Structure 1
Amino acid sequence: MFTGIVQATCEVVAINKKDGLNTLEIAMEAELREGLITGASVANNGVCLTVTRLEDDRVFFDVMEETLAVTNLTKLQVGSQVNIERSLTFGSEIGGHILSGHIHTQAKVRGLSNTEQHYNIELELDKKWMNYILYKGFVGVNGCSLTVGETTANGFMLHLIPETLKLTNLDVIQLGDILNIEIDSQTQAIVDTVERVLALRGIKG
C-alpha cells in the first residue's frame, strides 16, 4: 500500500531483458534503502514491484511480461528517472491518498503549458476511465497522488506546484509521453455501486 507521495526520483542504471521478464537495476541513496529487504514492495512510477536483490547502492526488481504490457515501465531506458515510494508502514502520515500500486490504464500527454505562473499537463486516456476521474478528485499519475483539474470526455488537466516538479519525474515529460494511471479505489467503488443500483431499478445514467 502506498500514499502517492513520491520520496525520490532514482536512475535506472541497467536493464537486463529476458523473454517475458525485465530486471531493473535502480540506484538508490542510502536513506531510501534504510531497512529495505529482499521481498519488500516499492512503487516504481506507481507500479508495485518486489525487491529481488540488494547490492551496494543498487536495488533490483523483476518486471513480468504482463506488467510491461500495461505500464510505461516497458519504455524505460538506462538513464531514465523513475518515481520511487517505499510501501506505507504503520503509523506513517498519509499525505496523499491510498494507492495499491496496481495500474488501471495509461494516459498520453497531449498538452503542456509551462509559464512563470503555472505548469499544466493535459492528459488523454480511454474515456471509459473518465467515469472515475472527477474534478477535484484524486488520481495516481506515475505514482504521484494528484488533484484532478478540469475534465473532458476523454481527458483531464493537472496543475502542478514547483515542489511536485522538484520531487518527481513529471518535470521532464514531453508531448506524447505515456504516464501510468491508478484511479482512486473509493471513487471507483462508489461509481460502480451507484451504476449497479440504477441498473437494477431500470434507470439509465
Structure 2
Amino acid sequence: MFTGIVQATCEIVSIHHDTGLNTFEIAMTPELTQGLVTGASVANNGVCLTVTKILNDKVFFDIMEETLAVTNLGNSQIGDKVNIERSLTFGTEIGGHILSGHVHTQATVKAVSHTDEHYNIELQVAPQWMNYIFYKGFVGINGCSLTVGKVSDNGFLLHLIPETLKLTNLSHYKVGSKINIEIDSQTQVIVDTVERILAKKQLG
C-alpha cells in the first residue's frame, strides 16, 4: 500500500525487452534504496511493481505485458523520469490517501494552463470512471494523491502547487499525454453499493 506522496522522480536508465515482459532499470538515490530488498513493492508512476534486483542503487523491475498495456509505463522510454514511492510502513505519517498501486485507467491530458498565478492540468477519462470522481475528492495521478479541482461530464481539473511540480513528473506532461489514474477505493465501494441498492429497489 502507498500514500500517494511521491518521494522522488527517478530516471529509467535501461529497458530490456523479453518475451511477455519488459525489465526496467531505475536509478535511485541511496536514501531510496536504503533497506530496500528484492521482493519489495515500489510504486512507479503509481504502479505497484516488485523489485527483482538491486545493483549499486540501480533497481530492476519486471513489468508484464498486461501492465504495459493498461498503464503509461508501456510508453516509457530510456531517460524518462518516473514518480517513485516506497511502500507504506507502520508509524509513518500519511499525508495523502491510501493507494493500492493498481491503476484503473489512463487519462488523456486535454489542456495545460501555466501562468504566473497557477498551473492547471485538465484530464479526460472514459465516462464510466467519472462516476467515482467528485469535486474535492481524492484521485491518484501517476501515484500522486491529489484533490479534484473541477469536474465536467468527461473529465476533471487539477490545480498543482509548486511543491507538487518540483517533486513529481507532472510538469513534463503535454496535451495528448497519458497519465495513470487510480480512483479512491472507498469512493468506488460507496458508489457501487448505492447503485446496487437502487437497482434492487427498481427491480422490486
Take 2:195 and 2:189, find their aligned partners in 1: how far apart are those partners? 10
Secondary structure of 1:110's counterpart equals strand
- Deviation per CA, 1:4-46, whole angstroms, max 9, x where unpaired? 0000000000000112100000000100111000000000000
Normalising by structure 1, we get a TM-score of 0.98
**Residues 9-158 of structure 1 correspond to what in structure 2 (within 5 A)?**
9-158=9-158
Take 1:169 and 1:12, find their aligned partners in 2: how far apart are those partners? 13
Q: CA deviation at 1:77?
A: 0.5
Take 1:34 and 1:18, find their aligned partners in 2: how far apart are those partners? 29
Take 2:199 and 2:61, find their aligned partners in 1: how far apart are those partners? 43
- Deviation per CA, 1:74-101, whole angstroms, max 9, x where unpaired? 1110100000000000111110000000
Q: Which amino acid aligns with 1:4?
A: G
- The 4+ residue runs of structure 1 with deviation greater than 3 A are none
Take 1:52 and 1:36, find their aligned partners in 2: how far apart are those partners? 11
- Deviation per CA, 1:146-179, whole angstroms, max 9, x where unpaired? 0001111110000000000000000111110000
Q: Which amino acid aligns with 2:98?
A: I
Residues matched between the structures, number: 203
- Deviation per CA, 1:180-199, whole angstroms, max 9, x where unpaired? 00000000000001111111
Take 1:9 and 1:151, find their aligned partners in 2: how far apart are those partners? 28
Q: Which amino acid aligns with 1:138?
A: F
Secondary structure of 2:149's counterpart equals coil
Take 1:176 and 1:19, find their aligned partners in 2: how far apart are those partners? 29
Take 1:171 and 1:153, find their aligned partners in 2: how far apart are those partners? 25
Take 1:102 and 1:172, find their aligned partners in 2: how far apart are those partners? 22
Q: Which amino acid aligns with 1:97?
A: H
Take 2:12 and 2:200, find their aligned partners in 1: how far apart are those partners? 50
Structure 1: runs of 5+ lacking an equivalent: none
Structure 2: runs of 5+ lacking an equivalent: none
Take 2:194 and 2:21, find their aligned partners in 1: how far apart are those partners? 39
Normalising by structure 2, we get a TM-score of 0.98
Q: Which amino acid aligns with 1:35?
A: G
> Percent identical across equivalent pairs?
71
Q: CA deviation at 1:57?
A: 1.6
